[in-house]
Structure formats: structure tokens, C-alpha cells
Amino acid sequence: MTDEQRPGIEFGKTAGGGGAAGAIHDHVNPVAGVFDDVEPVPGSKKPDPILIADHVTKTFGGLTAVDVEHLEIQRGGITALIGPNGAGKTTFFNLLTGFDKPNTGHVVLDGQSIDGVAPHKLANRGMVRTFQLTKALSRMTVIDNMKLGAVNQTGEHFWRALLPIWKRQEQEIEGRGDALLDRFNLTHMRDEFAGTMSGGQRKLVEMARALMTDPKLVMLDEPMAGVNPALTQSLLGHVKGLRAEGRTVIFVEHDMDVVHDISDWVVVMAEGAIIAEGTPDDIAANPDVIDAYLGSHHDSDFESWSDDEIAQAESADDTPAGEEGSP
């Protein structure tokens, strides 16, 4: 099969005949055109990177879960991190955000090393993340969950908490929380327990709570997973809104419609390494990406294979998952 005949990954199409986010209001894209001169290859240089990772590795026993030689994330853009199940995306997220420690490598945020910096200190520096499974405290009200996201609270210090000086700050924090709940159309849930919310509403609360830190870099781990179509529309609009405000967004996602709709740049991982970078259109036609998702024999005629080729393919399929994938 020739390259012209190779199947591509189809972005922006669903069974209903339209993109997943077709009805979303278009926000202004402040990085439009920034990637025009960026080479679509792994480790490509960006005009103004906010995050740089060099030689980051993580092993679990004899298994290499992450092996990223070099990655730069462009400031102010939306970068999607995609890859097959077990590619190491969430593990890489954990390494970047301080929830796990790499075996080797260095990470730089806005020109400063963040090697070994704890997650709560990274939040103070402007990097926040969400999780695949929401972390809302179910027995606290929504507004109290929001207030927990604020940084540098006076009441967090024992002696200062004994003085009434924290009350004014408390009022300011609550006002910010109310403003974000209004922005995310969750004001009606303000005084409800977080445990009564749907999965999609919890995703919205988690994103809104992340903004309580006024971050410059927001990292979203599968923000659309398990969310109904109506709330997916809302979430996508809010992610675009983050970019319109000048914030940088990195998100892990499996839905290719979503990736195509909101991404400025796409990074592809497979077996712990970065195998491709580019615009959504570049990635959709990249043969390495197609092979990673569909297998290297996806475009072959099985009936034309020799006995040796069939035996070789079966041997590859029988390889234990832990030896070729990553957590």
C-alpha cells in the first residue's frame, strides 16, 4: 500500500456527522500562527516554551514507563498529550507535577528548575493539575471545595489563624470562588455537598478549583472522560477560555474529535517515549502515529502473508503487556 493510500486518523468526525465540539463558542486564539514555523518532529524547539523536560525517565523494576529525551511546551497554547493505552501519559504527568519522582532528568518551569519541588509548592509557582478521577471532597459543600484551592491562606499558619486578620482574606477567597462557580454555571450547586454532583459537574468543579490558584500552566488529565455530551461542550469551551486568558494548557485525551477541536499542538507518546509532535492535521497523517494506534500490520493483506510473517506477528502479540507498554 502506498503512502497516499495509507489510512489516517480521522479527526472531527462522529457517528452523528459533526465534530464533538461543533456548537462551542469560538474564543480568540492568542497563539494563532505561532506554530507555523515549528518543525513537526519529536523534541522540536518552540518560540517561547514555558515548560521544558530533558532526559526524563521512570522505571518500575525492569519496566521503563517513561523515557522522554526532550520536550518543550509553548507558552499560551493548548497542547494535547495523546497515545495508546499504556503509553505512559499519566505517569509523565505525575513526573512533571511532582506527584512522582523521575529516575533521571530535569524539568524547567518558566526558566526555573522544579526538580524535586512538591506539588503544593508548584501550585504556588503557577502549575496546577486535575486528575482522571475527580478529587472533590464529597462531604464538603461545593463552595468549601472551591475555597480549598486558594493558595497562601493566612489561616493555614497556626499563630496567624488565632488572630482575626484572616477573616477579610476569607471573604475575598469566597468571592473569587463564587465568581468562578458563576463562570462555570454551577452557582445553583454552591451549598450542595460535592458528593451529590454528577461526574461531569465534578470535573467542572475541579477545573474551577484549579483556577483559584490563578495558574499560568493548567494540566488536565483526561478532562472529558465519563462526561455526558452536553457537559463536554461546556468543558471544551472553558478550556478554550483558559487559552484566551493567556494561560497554557496541557491535557491528556483519547477523544480525537476533542483533540482536533481545541489543540494548537499535539504530542504523541508510545511505550514511554515521544514518537511524534505536530499540529492535529500533521498527527492525523503521521505513519508512526497510525502504527502506534493501529499496529504496524494494519495496512497489510493478511492472506498475502508468509508463514514466517504470521508466526512473527503472533509472537509479538503474545509478548506480555508489561514488557511493551507502561503504566
pLDDT 10s digits, 156-215: 666 666 666 667 777 888 888 999 999 888 899 888 888 888 777 888 888 888 888 889
Answer for the pair 252, 222: CB distance below 8 angstroms, yes or no: yes
Query: Bigger pLDDT: 301 or 86?
Result: 86
Query: Bigger pLDDT: 256 or 52?
Result: 52
| Residue 225, Cβ density class (10 Å: 0-12 exposed, 13-18 middle, ≥19 buried) | middle
Alpha helices in the chain, H assignment, sequence order: 89-96, 119-125, 142-148, 158-161, 166-183, 199-210, 229-244, 256-262, 280-284, 287-294, 307-317, 321-324
| CATH 1.10.3470.10 describes domain 23-136+214-299 | no
Q: What cell does 162 get?
A: 488565632
Residue 158 Cα distances to 153, 155, 188, angstroms: 11, 7, 34
Query: Sign of dihedral through CA atoms 303, 305, 310, 316?
Result: negative
Q: pLDDT-based confidence at 307, cuts 50/70/90?
A: low
What are the residue ranges spanned by the domains of the chain?
23-136+214-299, 137-196
Nearest to 254 by CA among 221, 294, 279: 221
Dmax over CA atoms of the chain, in Å, equals 81
> What are the pLDDT digits (tens) for 219-237?
998 888 777 777 788 788 8
